[in-house]
Copies of this chain bind each other. A is one copy, B any other.
Amino acid sequence: MHFNKLINTIKERRENLKVNQENLAKLSGVGLRTLKQFESGKGNPTLQTIQKIADVLGLEVCLKVKTEITNEDGKNSL
């Protein structure tokens, strides 16, 4: 399972805010090990973990209707 989109959003947001993993871990209350694992594309985090991280970054988890058309590569056309 690939969470690349979510991961990149988190990672980019964190970097834009000039926060390193260590500080984000402390601010969010998520273990540094867990955060590292998530950002490096390994784990399968729980919703709670994602929420904690997103919250500190001023993001929120949401569900939107999939309306996008994907091409044969499975990548978005947009």
Contacts and interface: CB of A to CB of B under 8 A. Distances in A.
A64 B5 CA distance: 12
Nearest to A9: B63
A67 to B, nearest CB: 9
Interface in A33-78: 44-48, 50-51, 54, 58-66
A6 interface: yes
Copies in the complex: 2
A51 B1 contact: yes
B66 A64 contact: no
B44 A54 contact: no
A63 B62 contact: yes
A32 interface: no
Contacts of A3: 47, 51
Interface in A1-27: 1, 3, 5-6, 9-10, 13
